[in-house]
Amino acid sequence: MELDLAFLIATVIKMGLYFTIVLTFVAYAVYAERRFSAIIQDRVGPNRTMIPTSILGFKNDIKLPLGGLTQPIADGLKFILKEDFTPAHVRKHFFWLAPCMTMVPSLITIAVIPFSSPIAIEGRDVPLSMAIADLNVGPLFIFAISSLAVYGIAIAGWASNSKFPFLGGIRASAQMISYEIALGLSIIPVLLVFGELNLGRIVQEQSVNGWLILPLWNEGGHILSGGFWDAGGLQQWILWLPMMLAFIIFTISIFAETNRTPFDLAECETELVGGYHTEYSSMKFALFFLGEYAAMVIGSALIVTMFLGGWSLPFGWSNAEWLASGGIIATFIHLGCFLTKVIGFILFFILVRWSIPRFRYDQLMKLGWVIFFELALINIVLTALIIAKPALDKEGPIAFWAALAALAAFSAFVFYLAKTIDNQVGPGKRVAPVKAKPAPVN
Amino acid sequence: MPQVLFYLFSVLAVLSACLMVIVKNPVSSALWMVGAFVGMAALFVGLNAYFVGIIQILVYAGAIMVLFVFIIMLLDLKAEEKRVWKPANIAAGAVVPTILLLQILGVLLKSDFEPFQELDLKTAATAHQQASLDLYQEKAKKAGEEFDPADVPVGKIQANLEDNQLPDVHLVGRTVFAGRADKAASQSFGFDDTSNNLPLQVMGVLLVVATIGVVVLSKKGSPAKSN
């Protein structure tokens, strides 16, 4: 295999650029979180951090009206300079291994996300993708690698060798395994529509035909092509329903998967002190923190890529000749567009964290297994039916409606079943205490 | 895949597999097994089977082994670490792999491998296009219609090939799910075009039975009955 020098150089540049972007995002997401929560709670938040030149021997600190923008740097320095304390009772190897195993997977998943439109390079017949690795299994790669982050959390809880971290670790891993199912199933309708697992091409298609959950500016028809869909009109909104459902399930599952409030049961301080990282300090704690926020950034990026058109500009502007031809300026405009959308989503994550109270653990599990799992399954069949409607109509005029009615009946049955089984007394169910007979009066 | 990577990942897989057997702490053992899975997945990716490799990580490393680690942690097996190996165990552990290794060596020495060929996607793209053109032409002839090459739709496989990417997910899907396999694809990639739909459905039934079995077994001891 001959080495493609341009490709190698471009890959190295992309890796450097994207890691810088994501790490900066992580640092400033923490800052944004603090300022945003301060606004919500009518406080000021960290707004006075400046550049501490006095510790370098200068007479005064530089007092610039930065609004606390240097706060992340101060936080980072603090993490590095604090004492790195390893308690005596921990399982040392695993204790050291766990933070890395949480952070590394979340950073690896950057590899398949297309940050911008492909660049056309002279001498290459295929334009250079702006994802680090333009894999044909994009979303699966992200799920596979991010599912490895569970090990870090589970091991952190176990290696700490004390009970609250252990409970936190167990909770986190159970939660992440459960919601992976809802997460994986909820995007299958999306993949059915695109017929594609390559994130780059998914975005490309959305750029031409309109974003998946905002199909407003496509000319006559939905993202799907074919006779039935090209007719335009109301038909495109039929498919919008299952897509919206997929979007909602996916977004909420991402909240659970990244252990964010309202699903941060793994580090719920009212019950578990600090959760799986109770025993951690200094940089090792910072790595957990980093991994969590990186997972949030990647989660937002994935949602944006699949449902909100990735790097494409709204209203089909990306289809303009000078933007679609793949020049370097177009790439930067699209990069800006993508990052703007991701920032918007991160702010949404923060808004939810500070406005919705935490769930109870059994509610969380019920939501995942009883509601999202079934809904996602039904959604898959519904989408398949809608896509197959043109073919079904050839079989007979009522074939589609009969299938739809069967699906509705089946869904009702499934939910009825889930509900009745759920109401039975079983393990993990609270049994109403038997009322003690009142003591006989004399 | 460059050969360096092949050796790197095969060493990772073999080494982790060995360590999984040797290490005494059950949690380390499980983690080394994850390492072996990751190495294997990388080897699949090196063979251009991205889908299989990723599924390997997703299912084995990401789901099954997590449950293993989970259970081992909950049981907190201290007795395992103190266990001493008996000579009989070691002998059995040495003999069986040696026999297997000899068997594999025997097969490898006897078989005659052609030199490795890079996958040529450009040739595949033209072959695939030609095959689908032929198919449509045949179809049109049977129906007695005029054949126009512009009428042939560009499928996802064709589009992928022209983008210089192996459409392995589509090929797997076509082979496994399609009622009748994609003739154009099977001709241009040289796999036989029998459908695997029935085995797939049988496997689905098997998995459902297993799932129901698990639910029934785990429900047995619940307080619902003892009340």
pLDDT on residue B102: 93
Which chain B residue shows the shortest CA-CA distance from A172? B70
Q: Which of B110, B135, B168 is the last residue of a domain?
A: B110
Residues of A within 8 A of B73 (CB-CB) are: 154, 157-158, 166, 169-170
What are the DSSP calls for A344-374, one per residue? Answer: HHHHHHHHHHHHSPPPPHHHHHHIIIIIIHH
Range of the domain at A297: 5-45+82-387
Q: pLDDT (tens digit, 9 = 90+) per residue, A95-106?
A: 888 888 888 888
Q: What is d(CA A366, CA A373) in angstroms, rounded to the nearest whole number?
A: 10
Residues of A within 8 A of B165 (CB-CB) are: 134, 136, 198
Mean pLDDT of A393-402: 80
Q: Distances in Å between the alpha carbon of A123 and those of A120, A128, A134?
A: 9, 11, 19
Residues of B within 8 A of A425 (CB-CB) are: 223-224, 227
> Which residues share a beta bridge with A119?
A128
pLDDT at position A228 over 80: no
Confidence of residue A220 (pLDDT cuts 50, 70, 90): very low
pLDDT at position A225 over 90: no
The reply to whether B130 and B42 lie within a common domain is no
Q: Which residues of B touch A (CB under 8 A)?
A: 2, 27, 31, 34, 50-51, 54-55, 57-58, 61-63, 66-67, 69-70, 73-74, 118, 156, 160, 163-169, 219, 222-224, 227
Residues of B within 8 A of A188 (CB-CB) are: none
Residue A94, chain B, CB below 8 Å: the answer is yes
Closest CA of chain A from B1, distance in Å: 8
The reply to whether B104 and B127 lie within a common domain is no
Evaluate whether residue A442 is within a structural domain. no
DSSP state of B56: I
Contact B50 A148 (CB under 8 A): no
Q: pLDDT (tens digit, 9 = 90+) per residue, A286-317?
A: 888 888 888 889 999 999 998 888 888 877 67
DSSP state of A431: P
The reply to whether B79 and B148 lie within a common domain is no
The reply to whether B103 and B128 lie within a common domain is no
Closest CA of chain A from B98, distance in Å: 33
pLDDT on residue B142: 77
List the structure tokens of A216: 């407003």
Residues 6+ apart with CB under 8 A from A113: A18, A131, A138, A142, A199, A298, A301, A302, A305
The reply to whether B18 and B99 lie within a common domain is yes
ipTM confidence: 0.81
Q: Specify the higher pLDDT residue, A214 or B199.
A: B199
pLDDT at position B222 over 70: no
Evaluate whether residue B102 is within a structural domain. yes
Contact B57 A150 (CB under 8 A): no
Residues of B within 8 A of A197 (CB-CB) are: 169
Mean pLDDT of A207-231: 62
Evaluate whether residue A56 is within a structural domain. no
Evaluate whether residue A201 is within a structural domain. yes
Which chain B residue shows the shortest CA-CA distance from A225? B153
Residue A144, chain B, CB below 8 Å: the answer is yes
Evaluate whether residue B214 is within a structural domain. no
Binding-face residues of A in 181-200 toward B, CB within 8 A? 195-198
Q: pLDDT (tens digit, 9 = 90+) per residue, A78-136?
A: 888 888 888 888 888 888 888 888 888 888 888 888 888 877 777 666 777 788 888 88
List the structure tokens of A207: 């750029």
DSSP state of A198: -
Evaluate whether residue B206 is within a structural domain. no
Mean pLDDT in chain B? 79
Contact B66 A173 (CB under 8 A): yes
Range of the domain at B179: 123-189
Closest CA of chain B from A63, distance in Å: 49
Identify whether the C-beta of residue A181 lies closer than 8 Å to the C-beta of residue A373.
yes
The reply to whether B151 and B98 lie within a common domain is no
Identify whether the C-beta of residue A114 lies closer than 8 Å to the C-beta of residue A132.
no
The reply to whether B8 and B89 lie within a common domain is yes
Evaluate whether residue B218 is within a structural domain. no
What are the DSSP calls for A60-109, one per residue? Answer: S-B----TTTTHHHHHHHHHHHS-----TTS-HHHHHHHHHHHHHHHHHG
Evaluate whether residue A369 is within a structural domain. yes
The reply to whether B86 and B34 lie within a common domain is yes
The reply to whether B168 and B93 lie within a common domain is no
The reply to whether B96 and B127 lie within a common domain is no
Evaluate whether residue B117 is within a structural domain. no
Percent of residues, chain A, with pLDDT higher than 90: 4
pLDDT at position B208 over 90: yes
pLDDT at position A222 over 70: no
Q: Counting every residue, how long is chain B?
A: 227
Q: pLDDT (tens digit, 9 = 90+) per residue, A194-207?
A: 888 888 888 887 77
The reply to whether B11 and B74 lie within a common domain is yes
Identify whether the C-beta of residue A86 lies closer than 8 Å to the C-beta of residue A279.
no
pLDDT at position A230 over 70: no
The reply to whether B91 and B150 lie within a common domain is no
Q: Specify the higher pLDDT residue, B36 or A46.
A: B36
Evaluate whether residue B202 is within a structural domain. no
Q: What is d(CA B91, CA A355) in angstroms, rounded to the nearest whole number?
A: 63
Residues of A within 8 A of B54 (CB-CB) are: 137, 140-141, 144
Q: Which of A193-202, B148-157, B186-195 has the lowest mean pLDDT?
A: B186-195
Total count of domains within chain A: 1
Q: Which of B75, B110, B145 is the last residue of a domain?
A: B110
List the structure tokens of A101: 């195993």
Mean pLDDT of A249-255: 90
CATH code (residue B96): 1.20.120.1200
Total count of domains within chain B: 2
- Mutation pick from A197, A417, A423 vs chain B, by most beta carbons of B within 10 Å, is A197
Burial of B222 (0-12, 13-18, 19+ CB in 10 A): middle
Q: Which of A150-154, A199-203, A263-267 has the lowest mean pLDDT?
A: A263-267
- Mutation pick from B54, B160, B168 vs chain A, by most beta carbons of A within 10 Å, is B54
Residues of B within 8 A of A174 (CB-CB) are: 70
Evaluate whether residue A268 is within a structural domain. yes
